[in-house]
Chain A
Amino acid sequence: MQTFQPQTTSRLDDIKHLRDIFNAQNSKELKVAFDALNPSFTISEEDLEVQFNRYFVGPMETVADPFASVYLDNPDVFMSKSTLHVRDLYETMGFSYSLKNVIPEDHLGVELDAYYQLLFLEEAKEITYLSDLRHYFLHEHLALWIPRFLERGLAQSEKDAPAITFILQQLKSLLIRETTTTRSS
């Protein structure tokens, strides 16, 4: 069993790499994003993708679907209430989404992208206009479903897929970090 060192990369970079992992369209993109998250973990491109698909993509029943609605509304269906709520949020945040009605807005990769961009505004551009919305998105949405997603994924990955455990652990620390250090109310 490999052990993982806590990452020292920046908050923004971590989110971006995780986002890229969940948005990867092929093994190459997946591996590049994965390596960026942890260059020292050795796994072949193909093995990584095969495991990733088994957990999050299919075609077989996945271990943990990366869609919020599956955890918040109905375990079998997406494009439901939570998806449309997130759609509304993105519109208010000023985002347009070219994959609207193609890939549900509550897909983890899309949500991480939204979160990344909002944080980028605050951290890199020092614009706080959307900060309320980011906090809302984090506390009232991401923090409600991602822990359940992590629980489902980790329960299995700790048995058979260290690379997936690594990804999920990174996501977990990110969520803990964001929810415990950035809330100011």
Chain B
Amino acid sequence: MSYSKEKVESILNNGISRRSFLKGLAASGVLSSLPGGILQANEDLNTKIPYLGQKNYQTFRNACPRNCYDTCSIKTYVKDGVMQFIEGATESTYTRGGCCVKGNSYVKRVYSARRLKFPMMQVGGKGSGNWKRVSWDYAMETIAKKLLEMKKEDGTLLGAALTKYSGNFGITHYGVEGMFNSIGYTTRLAGTPCWPAGIDAQNLDMGDMWCNDPEEMKDSKFIILWGVNPASNSVHSMKYIYEAKSKGAKVVVIDPVFTEAASKASQYIQIKTGTDGLLALGMAKIIIDANLHDQKWLDANSKGYKEYKAYLDKEIKLDNVSKITGIPLAMIKELALSFVKAKPATIWMGYGMQRHTNGGSMIRAIDALVAVSGNIGKYAGGARYGHLSTWGFNYAALSQTKPEGSVGYTGPEGAKGEFAQVGGEKAAYTDRFLNINKTARELLNAKEPKVRLLWVACKNVFSQDFDRNQLIRAFQQLDLVVVADQFFNETVKWADIVLPVATQFEEYDVNVSYWHYWLSLNEQAIKPLFEVKSDVEIAALLSKHMNKLEAGSCTFPQSVDTKAMTIKEFNPGIYEQFGIKSWEELKNGSVKAKAVIPYADGKFKTPSGKFEFYSDKALELFGSALPTYLEVRKPYDKFRMTSPHSRWSLHSQFQNLEWMEDMHPEPYVYINPDDAEAKMVKEGDTVAVFNKQGLLRVKAKVTDNVQAGTVLMYEQWYNNNIYNVNELVDDTSSDMGAFKTGAPGVALHDTFVNFRKL
């Protein structure tokens, strides 16, 4: 008998010879003689002609659910059950057929050899690295038993805590909170590390956080990108900015860092960090002094303009503004006057600027500047920050009732985070809220009952939260830490049980953006790999096991299918807003909400119904009714450190994928040449960056993209690297946030460090 490669390949690749071979196979008695294993004899012989390059794909609708402005609408191409490639859907004029470098790597993410594959338990203790495979049933029974035991011992389930944030903003993923709602009153890590100071600021000024459609920016005549870098982090928005620019609009970037967006702008203004509020106040003063403000709009639509103007007259000295911001006065004047003369003009405020101890006050000052210029409530105008106005889903997965007789928290109530706030009657008990931005400390300090079980979902605690050493202590004192994730990361390292979670291509869901106005269906495009399950399937399984052990102990449905769960999220309001009759229409591509210009009718959701320069609520909560200048945090070490996002990752997500590692394999500290020279640091040297919080060793890049006195390190996790910039960040709060999201934000960019060459 001989073996010929050519012969076999011709059988494999040639439809006719393969067919005759298979016919012979059927006749030869092979099938009945196979002993059988994982592979079974195929009685129903598949004589299909093998793939020879035809484009016979099945397509599915998906959406990128990561915490990104763009929330891309995706078209997924599948062949024989395997994802081949994705592209941005063309139906969404926002996504317009493209994804970013992260989105384009989705196939590699789904089929990454690094995916978590099975539920596993760490048997040698947290951090031991000794993992055992367990069945889903065993994992869920263990968790269910622990919960019921805690409930019996403590009389409540407040010992069970949930920390979940932005790894997946798909609507059904609020089923994780739903799962916790369905077992009783529990403890939640509440608030947001991201944007709370600005949310509060905009709510004080306008009664809402609501921004114009970004697609309108193409018709803006003047765009200020203030502390935002869309060229890296909202790439689809750039086309509108380019279009405006090509039609003659001026695009100005104000940022302490010379960013990618700055390199594309008409003008870049390097401002001293944390002085943006003062610049805005100075610009408003210049506009008012030149009598170019929109008095008519202000008279009709604002409250407290007089007090605001009096404040500017008395307290804002333009020479000081120039000195403190580091921008020549002539440049400020030219900026203010050209901004106000261009109509419509708009300012996009990023989430970087508000990550300061005076962050909320800076957003208020910029809102006021846009109001003074008469650009609020105008097409292609607006003070843009973000919006949740298309998020009116049912939150069916989230809204679960408590089991009968549940006992909860009776202390002071806190708010519950920025997304998916569902109203309801005031109950005798509430959940207990701990500040997500002080996770380590709060977990360690919570008493009566102490936290014994922590569930982590859609979040990499060790990458996003602060004070790693305290976090390790906090995790170690917990009886049971459950982490549901797609990849192994440092949070999983400190878990007792890890549950592998489905990607959006393996489940149904629905997605909207906090920036644009598109709605996308997420269809299940492939079977879940290995033993991964979606967050709502996990919740259902927990419910099944809890009810098996104690009937009635969990109200979450005991079996779900992600499609049925997704359908339940739709309602007539959503259909009306998006102009569709059924969710099924989304199978043809995403749809856009009907155009509305925020506040065009002059109606604001503030107590006065007007734009509030003077806010009683702000006075009550933050001690200042007006958008006044608040100095930035005083340095406690030699250099300021900023930690923005890079374009290669979304927080810690994507960074571990091959493409990203190729382009951006390791962290750096970016140092201004003057500072580098003073410290005798050269490009590529390893330096220690340190402060009272901790120390990191990283390679230096010397660049005047950052100003003297400031160093920059990207926020994220790098695979096989213990680097995490948050190790240098203390958890000092920004000025605002507690009003709307339950806890103030973190003043991430008010971190100070020193460094030396190693």
Contact = CB atoms under 8 A, between A and B. Distances in A.
Interface string B81-116: 111000000000000000000000001100111101
Q: Interface residues of B: mostly helix, strand, loop or mixed?
A: loop
Contacts, number: 190
Interface string B121-140: 00110000111111100000
Interface string A56-92: 0111111001010010001111111000100111111
A58 B116 contact: yes
B7 A132 contact: yes
Interface string B15-26: 000100110111
Contacts of B45: 94
Interface string A25-49: 1110000000000000000001001
Given A74-B658, A109-B38, A96 B44 contact: yes
Interface in A81-122: 84, 87-103, 109-110, 113-114, 116-117, 120-121
Interface of A: 19, 23, 25-27, 46, 49-50, 53-54, 57-62, 65, 67, 70, 74-80, 84, 87-103, 109-110, 113-114, 116-117, 120-121, 124-125, 127-133, 135-136, 139-140, 183-185
B456 to A, nearest CB: 14
A62 B129 CA distance: 11
B663 interface: no
A62 B43 CA distance: 37
A84 B8 CA distance: 16
B132 A50 contact: yes
Interface of B: 1-5, 7-9, 11-12, 18, 21-22, 24-26, 28-31, 33-46, 50-51, 80-83, 107-108, 111-114, 116-118, 120, 123-124, 129-135, 488, 492-493, 498, 500, 526-530, 657-658, 719-720
28 contacts: A26-B133, A26-B135, A58-B114, A59-B492, A61-B719, A75-B113, A77-B112, A79-B82, A79-B111, A84-B82, A90-B39, A94-B25, A94-B41, A94-B45, A95-B34, A95-B39, A95-B42, A96-B41, A101-B80, A103-B530, A113-B39, A121-B33, A121-B34, A130-B30, A133-B8, A139-B5, A184-B1, A185-B4
B111 A78 contact: yes
Contacts of A80: 111
A54 to B, nearest CB: 7
A54 B111 contact: no
Contact of B108 (A77, A88, A120, A184): A77
Contacts of B82: 79, 84, 101
Given A77-B108, A139-B3, 7 more contacts: A27-B132, A59-B488, A93-B25, A95-B41, A97-B40, A102-B527, A117-B34
Given A77-B108, A102-B530, A129-B24, A94 B42 contact: yes
Contacts of B50: 88
B81 A88 contact: no
Contacts of B133: 25-27, 49, 53, 57
Q: Which of A19, A92, A94, A131 has the most CB of B within 10 A?
A: A94
A94 B22 contact: yes
A136 B3 contact: yes
Contacts of A98: 38, 40
Given A27-B132, A102-B527, A19 B33 contact: no
A135 B3 contact: yes
Contacts of B81: 100-101
A80 B83 CA distance: 10
A1 to B, nearest CB: 22
A88 B42 CA distance: 13
Contacts of A183: 3
Nearest to B7: A132
B341 to A, nearest CB: 53
Contacts of B124: 50
Given A77-B111, A132-B3, A92 B38 contact: no
Nearest to A20: B37
B111 A131 contact: no
B37 A92 contact: no
Contact of B113 (A65, A92, A103, A129): A65
Contacts of B719: 61
B526 A101 contact: yes
Nearest to B117: A58
Contacts of B7: 132
B346 to A, nearest CB: 42
Nearest to B33: A125
Contact of B116 (A59, A79, A103): A59
A89 B262 CA distance: 54
Contacts of A91: 42, 46
B105 to A, nearest CB: 10
Given A50-B131, A77-B108, A120-B35, A67 B40 contact: no
Nearest to B531: A102
Contact of A129 (B30, B37, B658): B30
B2 A184 contact: yes
A37 B391 CA distance: 58
Contact of A76 (B3, B22, B28, B658): B658
Contacts of B5: 136, 139-140
A104 to B, nearest CB: 8
Contact of A113 (B3, B38, B80): B38
A113 B41 CA distance: 12
Nearest to B657: A76
A19 B37 CA distance: 9
A183 B5 CA distance: 12
A157 B487 CA distance: 24
